[in-house]
Chain A
Amino acid sequence: MEAAGSAPGTEVLGADPAALTRRYRQARDAVIDAPDLAAAQRRSALTDLTDRWVRDLFGAAATPGIAVVAVGGYGRRELVPGSDLDILLVHDGSRPDDAVAAVADGLFYPLWDSKVPLDHSVRSLDEAARVAGDDYKVALGLLDARHVAGDPIVSRAIAERVTADWRRRAPKRLPELREAVRARAERSGELAYLIEPDLVESYGGLRDTIVLRAVTASWVADRPHSAAIEESRGWLLTVRDALHRTTRRRSDRLLLQEQDEVADLLGLLDADALLRRVSEAGRAIAHASDVTWRSVDRALTARSRRPRLRRKPTRRPLAEGVVEHEREVVFAREADIADDAGLAMRASAAAAQAGLPLAVSTLERLVAETPDLPVPWPASVREDFVRLLGAGADSVGVWEDLEAAGMVVRWLPDWERIRHRPQRTPVHRHTVDRHSIEAVAEAAALTRRVDRPDLLLVAALLHDIGKGWPGDHSSTGAVIAQTLAARMGFDDDDVETLSELVRFHLLLPTVATSRDLDDPATVAMVADLVGTTDRLDLLAALTEADARAAGPTAWTPWRASLVRDLVTRVRGHLAGHRPQGERPSTVEPWARTLAASGAFDVMVSAPDLDHVAKVTVVAPDRVGLLAAVAGVLTLHRLEVRGASVDTVSDSAVQVWRTVSQYGAPPDDHVLRQDLRRALDGSLDVAAKLRRRAGDQRRPATRTAPPRVSLVPEASQTATVLQVRAHDEPGLLHTIASVVASAGVQVRSALVDTLGADVVDVFYLTDSQQRPLPDDVAEALRDQVSEAIGSRA
């Protein structure tokens, strides 16, 4: 302390700064290049070296009331070769400004001259606290503050003050921080699913572990599973260390070209092994982060609610045994978890369709307590599975949660082979599993283009399932898809279609870009392989979903136009021999007899094992009958899964497959009575439905817009109207009402609910049993389209 007491500005350092810096640089290079040093040891060795150097430089200038504090990564003792030195010189305000300036110059000039990347600031306690209060990034860095040199009382003061402020202001800061996390995830993607992830910035990366600490430090939420997080964090730091040593640069993005060398440095088999472990770490951190943010949301909402406004949390039913509670999906109290095999899938589908996450505790019980699905799956489970897949972007989050919990592998054992599987091509940006579910989300937007949305969604999920095995993934995948589709309980035809879709999922783009489309042989070859226009439509939609999910380079307008051209030509070729004709009537003899007698009756069968109750309506046919029945069923909260409508003499025979939303289906006589009242006008079905729709919140999912079209030449004797739309209560009533108000008769109809989508076909005639004139048919099409569109 020879300089103590001398005039400001004349304080000198105890040793030659240049010599100290030389010594530091040599020691640092030696540590970075030491081959047998474990990454954790290197981090702590680098930190120790740096601490000593900073202390030596500061040494003689030391004065009471001034301290050197390491913040950020340096504060956490996590220096890697490319790290910035984040240093704050903090003083308590008791020293004159020029004395502080002199100390700062003495410390920072040598640091600066050493060319080690430096992030430095000089602040009083008050200033530091204020800046931390204004900028959450500064606050985050200061939460990791560590005393390095100088007056330890000052260091402790700043650390305590920043932490206390952080806690006090958490309700305001945390939403801001969350928004920043979201924006970063949007920008940098998710660590677990990227082929070239950023170890720090990607969601689930090192930055999120720091954010998690900050959230925990606020005392708003607990830190989840800290051992797993620490392990993942340690591994990412180790990879980062190896990356910096490989590239000699500061970038934290793990590029394809460097992955082999980094893997080698870490003693791993190859880049795939490296990426798989990075994925796992990223997934663990992202999951912890999701859970933590959700509990932050809940805690903050609970706090902000004023006591007088506090309501009992409502439990809104979503499906049998499944309710919404505080913006999460949980089991209903009466749910039969241990025995209801379909419950897990039903809850997952309900969550995806409502755009809500499954609660963590529900997810845990789902995995631990629900029984295994019977094989093949019952129809209701398969339909729920399709609903889970059909929610577009909202499917992805629910799927990832189920996947992380191990539920997906229980459902689809073959999924294991593509979990976290990296793929090394410039086309793809995601791992195979994530690419598959992204393709499903893309496919959900294309469901209106195909007759079988369910097959499209399942094919999108399985199209790359062969990538876990050696050989050509399309042919391997076709075999696996066959097994899985049979397991899901699809019938033989559908199993084959799914298998063929997987086998040929690269056919269209390959042929479009490498074969002569003007050559009829090319078109004939594709037509032969594809077989029918239905499959062609499915394959075209699958191709587009696959390419859009792969990355921006896979579906350029150029590529799209080539594929579209091919599809148009093949469709033209197939149209030449498309089977056409009326659909056969499926009315059972007893119903036929009843109809012939002109009776009016409604019969409800007991629900089968899939909870499906059959409602048969026999009634004299009249305009508006279909709308009335559809409306009454909806009023009784019966979900329509399918229906067939036929005309026998002057009576209509309608067979409805329905599922009760809660409880047992209503009795025959109740339905009969309501239907009579609806037909004679004493029950205003439309008004009641409108009122109920007002009570219910709209589903949060964004779905593809409905598509209403006329199918020319499908029938000689009727006009055929086809509607493809997202299923909603009352949809059929809306369509049928429009048809009825146009005075048009429904001769027969086929209604099919495929997961979350409906495909309805109506055979319409005028009062003389003839097809509608073109202009009437087109006007009706537009009216139906408008009526459905205005619901959404």
Chain B
Amino acid sequence: MKLVTAVIKPFKLDDVRSALESFGVHGMTVSEASGYGRQKGHTEVYRGAEYTVDLVPKVRLEVLLDDADVDDVVEVIVKTSQTGRIGDGKVWVAPIDTVVRVRTGERGIDAL
């Protein structure tokens, strides 16, 4: 089993969610996050108004998956949340030892 974590732009959440739903992923955890990556925050000039952005608001999305689905799901997330501009985010995958469904006590794949 794997944990797929994606940090993406907030406005992309709805798109990613519906893409994952149609792929067959029905559960996920979403949280509000903020941070910065390589761009270290940035100064923007917009119509003469200059302002700096230190921590950029993002959405963090976590999905638990069977190993077989991981590559496809990562691809779906990356494709849907891409705008091609700085700050599109990251997706990473980590191995998971075990998963337990709290209500029933089921373990492993059954608990997904």
Contacts and interface: CB of A to CB of B under 8 A. Distances in A.
Contacts of A576: 47-48
Interface stretch (B6-14, B62-70, B89-97, B104-112): B6-14
A575 B57 contact: no
Contacts of B57: 558, 561-562, 565
B48 A572 contact: yes
B49 A575 contact: yes
Kindly name the residue among A513, A515, A576 whose own CB sees the greatest number of chain B CB atoms within 10 A: A513
Contacts of B33: 558
Contacts of B11: 513-517
Contacts of A568: 46, 49, 51
B84 to A, nearest CB: 11
- The size class of the interface chain A forms with chain B is 20 to 34
Interface in B39-67: 46-49, 51, 53, 55, 57
Given A568-B46, A568-B49, A561 B10 contact: no
B85 A518 contact: yes
Nearest to B50: A572
A518 B10 CA distance: 12
Contacts of B13: 514
A733 interface: no
Contacts of B10: 513-514, 562
Question: What DSSP secondary structure best describes chain A's contact surface?
Answer: helix
Contact of A514 (B14, B32, B47, B85): B14
B82 interface: no
B83 interface: yes
Contacts of B18: none
B83 A575 contact: no
B44 to A, nearest CB: 9
Contacts of A514: 10-11, 13-14
A43 interface: no
A565 B32 contact: no
B46 A559 contact: no
A556 B53 contact: no
A167 interface: no
B85 A573 contact: no
B27 to A, nearest CB: 19
Given A514-B11, A518-B85, A561 B34 contact: yes
A571 interface: yes
B47 A572 contact: yes
B17 to A, nearest CB: 12
A569 interface: yes
Interface string A480-520: 00000000000000000000000000000000011111100
B48 to A, nearest CB: 6
Nearest to A556: B32
A568 B48 CA distance: 11
Contacts of B83: 516, 518
B69 to A, nearest CB: 27
A691 to B, nearest CB: 47
A233 B9 CA distance: 51
Task: Pick from A558, A561, A569 the residue with the most CB of B within 10 Å.
Answer: A558
Contacts of B9: 516
Interface string A191-233: 0000000000000000000000000000000000000000000
Interface of B: 9-11, 13-14, 32-34, 46-49, 51, 53, 55, 57, 83, 85
A-B pairs, 6 with minimum CB distance: A572-B47, A572-B49, A558-B32, A572-B46, A562-B57, A516-B11
21 contacts: A514-B13, A514-B14, A516-B9, A516-B83, A517-B11, A518-B85, A557-B34, A558-B33, A558-B57, A561-B34, A562-B57, A565-B53, A565-B57, A568-B51, A569-B49, A571-B49, A572-B47, A573-B46, A573-B47, A576-B47, A576-B48
Given A573-B46, A573-B47, 6 more contacts: A514-B10, A514-B13, A558-B57, A571-B49, A572-B47, A572-B49
